[in-house]
């Protein structure tokens, strides 16, 4: 009994006198009444748990209970207050520790200016960030501002975004943009300029408000190195000489260039992107290595051949061919021999374009037909080009075509060097799928327990390590698909004389209708991911399903 009394005395002292924590020395002086808990504990200790108080004690005990509940609320409120005080102290201490740690430990503030300036230049801002990037760096601290202003290279790369509706910005925006352009041009010294101008406004009055900024850019056109103009309409007259220009991209929905016949001197031009093919002749293309003509206009097959014939240094060509000439193949002496390495062509008609072309250096090829209504693949001319060129093709993407399985096999047998293979089934169910059971079986490597009659006794695409199948809405043979993937990934099961020439599959991805892929096949494919194969499965958006 004496021990219980001592506990009550200690408990009372805890809430009456000041408490100094032995660990953190936090002092608390709660002025709380502890009489009720003493009386409550005394009554409970004198009676068992199943005690039924007599009637004359009911009123006193009810008052005691209410008083004890009120006292408990005071304890809880005091605990909350103490926790809030401790949390505030913790936050203040954490902030102070972080700031002190930055001061005493090595940080970016201690980097020498040469290294810090190199870090500044490593960042590649997105087009919509390029206007702010240099300004943000120059506003971090005094040291960074001094360093930024001493770096002309930091100010020779910037972009402008002209709003499509002027009422979305403050009326002072054109003047502030002009000030920014002048500031960048002044601080960049005589360094080459990397510029981008974005606008999707066809409003002439909008461009007029920003004409002063554009005029400043044109005045320094002799310093242009990398230029990207993506605007609704062209209000810029390209200067006659661009001596430092290396890459230029001009995307205009409507060209207002007055003189299309005047040639622009571009002795260093390497990369050109246009959506107005008629402006192509304005540029000096002797040093051009990369050319892109967007789908906005497209060119004829004859024009494409003329480009390949005249641009001797061209290594990458991407365009949309809207007309394929129906003329018979030209004599062999008129076949264009090009050093192209990358070719990306979309066309809507079959023809003999490839019969006039020899591409011995080709390594990356993308051929897109009609994405909505598949057209017949130009097998004869394309197969002839491959047989004549014998390129070391590494990547092939075929989309929007119909082609019989045996003809596709004939094409693939001519390019055993292929490493990346992307192929699409026709989007419409009106056309037969390219990824048939026969094709999947021929894509299967010779393995133990698998007996397949090989087409022309050859193993198809022995070097492919990346495969992407766009199955679309077409049904497919699940067993043939999983066998093909397993045979190319599990190299321990390979058999035959050619097994030393086979390469193990590294990545496999497919896109299909979710109703066409059962759970067992999906699990089988995904199980290989844990063993080293990179697997990706995507499903078509239901809104694209055909009825």
Higher pLDDT, 214 or 535: 535
Please say whether the beta carbons of 250 and 276 come within 8 A: yes
What's residue 403's pLDDT?
Answer: 92
- Per-residue pLDDT tens over the stretch 142-177: 989 999 999 998 898 888 888 776 556 778 888 998
- Which residue, chain included where needed, has tokens 């192509």? 280
Among 61-70, 92-101, 269-278, 290-299, the range scoring the smallest mean pLDDT is 290-299
DSSP reduced 3-state for 175:
helix
pLDDT higher than threshold 50 for residue 410: yes
Shared-domain flag, residues 264 and 365: no
* Whole-angstrom distance, CA of residue 114 vs CA of residue 505: 45
Supply the range of the domain harboring residue 379: 292-402
Domain end point (choices 402, 434, 453):
402
Shared-domain flag, residues 188 and 68: no
- Per-residue pLDDT tens over the stretch 334-378: 678 899 999 999 886 656 788 889 999 999 999 998 877 778 898
Domain end point (choices 402, 420, 440):
402
Both tokens of 311, joined, read: 């641009």
* Whole-angstrom distance, CA of residue 334 vs CA of residue 25: 95
What's residue 259's pLDDT?
Answer: 52
Total structural domains within the chain: 4
3-state percent breakdown (helix, strand, coil) of the chain, nearest 5: 45, 20, 40
What's residue 337's pLDDT?
Answer: 87
Q: Is residue 145 part of a domain?
A: no
Higher pLDDT, 424 or 542: 424
Shared-domain flag, residues 444 and 410: yes
Shared-domain flag, residues 463 and 533: yes
What's residue 191's pLDDT?
Answer: 93
pLDDT higher than threshold 70 for residue 131: no
List, in sequence order, the alpha helices (H) in 105-141: 113-122, 130-137
Shared-domain flag, residues 265 and 367: no
Give the CA angle between residues 269, 272, 275 to the nearest 5°: 150
Among 241-255, 378-392, 510-524, the range scoring the smallest mean pLDDT is 241-255
Mean pLDDT of 105-114: 78
Q: Is residue 243 part of a domain?
A: yes
Shared-domain flag, residues 353 and 278: no
Shared-domain flag, residues 376 and 284: no
Mean pLDDT of 407-429: 94
Give percent above pLDDT 70 in the chain: 82
Q: Is residue 141 part of a domain?
A: no
Give every CB contact of residue 112 below 8 A, 6+ residues apart in sequence.
none
Q: Is residue 378 part of a domain?
A: yes
What's residue 234's pLDDT?
Answer: 61
Higher pLDDT, 180 or 21: 180
Among 81-90, 163-172, 514-523, the range scoring the smallest mean pLDDT is 163-172
Burial class (CB in 10 A: 0-12, 13-18, 19+), 480: buried
List, in sequence order, the alpha helices (H) in 150-196: 152-155, 173-187
Shared-domain flag, residues 423 and 537: yes
- Per-residue pLDDT tens over the stretch 474-489: 999 999 999 999 999 9
Domain end point (choices 348, 378, 402):
402
Q: Is residue 340 part of a domain?
A: yes
What's residue 239's pLDDT?
Answer: 82
Mean pLDDT of 385-411: 94
Shared-domain flag, residues 472 and 542: yes
Tell me which residue of 347, 410, 417 sits closest to 384, measured CA to CA.
Answer: 410
Give the CA angle between residues 130, 132, 133 to the nearest 5°: 65
Q: Is residue 112 part of a domain?
A: no
Q: CA dist 52 to 40, 45, 56, 63, 68, Å?
A: 15, 14, 12, 17, 19
Tell me which residue of 65, 84, 76, 71 sits closest to 12, measured CA to CA.
Answer: 71
Give every CB contact of residue 236 below 8 A, 6+ residues apart in sequence.
214, 218, 229
Mean pLDDT of 196-212: 77
Shared-domain flag, residues 471 and 541: yes
Shared-domain flag, residues 422 and 496: yes
Q: Is residue 116 part of a domain?
A: no
Higher pLDDT, 5 or 96: 96
Among 109-113, 240-244, 327-331, 461-465, the range scoring the smallest mean pLDDT is 327-331
List, in sequence order, the alpha helices (H) in 290-368: 301-310
Higher pLDDT, 300 or 249: 249
pLDDT grade for 543, boundaries at 50, 70 and 90: low
Tell me which residue of 305, 307, 301 sits closest to 281, measured CA to CA.
Answer: 307
Q: Is residue 131 part of a domain?
A: no
DSSP reduced 3-state for 316:
strand
- Per-residue pLDDT tens over the stretch 29-45: 555 556 667 777 888 88
Shared-domain flag, residues 413 and 530: yes
- Hey, how many other C-beta atoms are within 10 angstroms of the C-beta on 371? 13
Both tokens of 525, joined, read: 């494919």
């Amino acid at each position: 009994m004496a021990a219980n009394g001592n506990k009550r005395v200690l408990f009372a002292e805890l809430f009456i006198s000041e408490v100094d924590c032995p660990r953190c020395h936090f002092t608390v002086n709660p002025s709380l009444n502890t009489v009720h808990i003493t009386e409550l504990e005394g009554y409970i200790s004198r009676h068992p748990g199943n005690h039924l108080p007599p009637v004359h004690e009911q009123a006193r005990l009810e008052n005691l209970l209410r008083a004890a509940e009120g006292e408990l609320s005071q304890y809880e409120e005091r605990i909350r207050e103490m926790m809030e005080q401790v949390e505030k102290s913790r936050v203040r201490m954490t902030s102070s520790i972080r700031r002190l740690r930055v001061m005493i430990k090595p940080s970016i503030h201690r980097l020498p200016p040469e290294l810090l300036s190199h870090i500044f230049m490593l960042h590649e801002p997105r087009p919509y960030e390029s206007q702010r990037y240099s300004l943000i760096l120059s506003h971090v601290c005094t040291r960074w501002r001094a360093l930024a202003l001493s770096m002309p290279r930091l100010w020779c790369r910037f972009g402008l975004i002209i709003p499509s509706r002027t009422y979305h910005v403050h009326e002072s925006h054109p003047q502030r943009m002009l000030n920014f352009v002048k500031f960048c041009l002044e601080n960049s010294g005589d360094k080459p300029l990397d510029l981008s101008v974005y606008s999707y406004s066809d409003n002439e009055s909008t461009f007029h408000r920003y004409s002063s900024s554009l005029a400043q850019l044109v005045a320094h056109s002799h310093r242009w190195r990398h230029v990207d103009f993506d605007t609704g309409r062209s209000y810029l007259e390209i200067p006659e000489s661009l001596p430092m220009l290396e890459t230029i991209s001009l995307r205009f929905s409507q060209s207002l260039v007055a003189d299309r016949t005047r040639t622009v001197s571009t002795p260093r031009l390497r990369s050109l992107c246009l959506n107005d093919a008629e402006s192509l002749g304005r540029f000096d293309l002797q040093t051009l290595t990369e050319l892109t003509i967007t789908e906005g206009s497209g060119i004829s097959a004859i024009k494409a051949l003329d480009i390949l014939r005249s641009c001797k240094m061209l290594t990458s060509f991407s365009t949309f061919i809207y007309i394929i000439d129906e003329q018979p193949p030209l004599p062999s002496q008129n076949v264009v021999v090009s050093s192209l390495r990358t070719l990306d062509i979309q066309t809507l008609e079959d023809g003999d374009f490839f019969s006039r072309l020899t591409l011995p250096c080709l390594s990356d090829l993308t051929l897109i037909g009609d994405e909505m209504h598949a057209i017949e693949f130009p097998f004869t001319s394309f197969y002839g080009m491959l047989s004549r060129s014998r390129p070391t093709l590494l990547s092939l993407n075929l989309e929007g075509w119909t082609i019989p399985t045996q003809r596709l096999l004939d094409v693939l047998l001519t390019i055993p060097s292929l490493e990346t293979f992307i192929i699409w089934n026709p989007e419409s169910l009106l056309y037969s799928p390219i990824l048939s059971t026969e094709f999947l079986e021929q894509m299967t490597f010779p393995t133990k327990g698998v007996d397949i009659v090989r087409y022309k006794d050859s193993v198809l695409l022995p070097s492919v390590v990346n495969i992407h199948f766009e199955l679309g809405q077409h049904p497919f043979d699940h067993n043939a698909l999983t066998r093909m993937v397993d045979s190319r990934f599990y190299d321990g099961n390979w058999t035959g004389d050619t097994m030393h020439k086979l390469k193990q599959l590294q990545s496999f991805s497919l896109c299909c209708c979710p109703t066409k892929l059962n759970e067992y096949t999906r699990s089988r494919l995904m199980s290989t991911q844990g063993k080293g194969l990179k697997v990706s499965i995507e499903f078509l958006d239901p809104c694209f399903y055909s009825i």
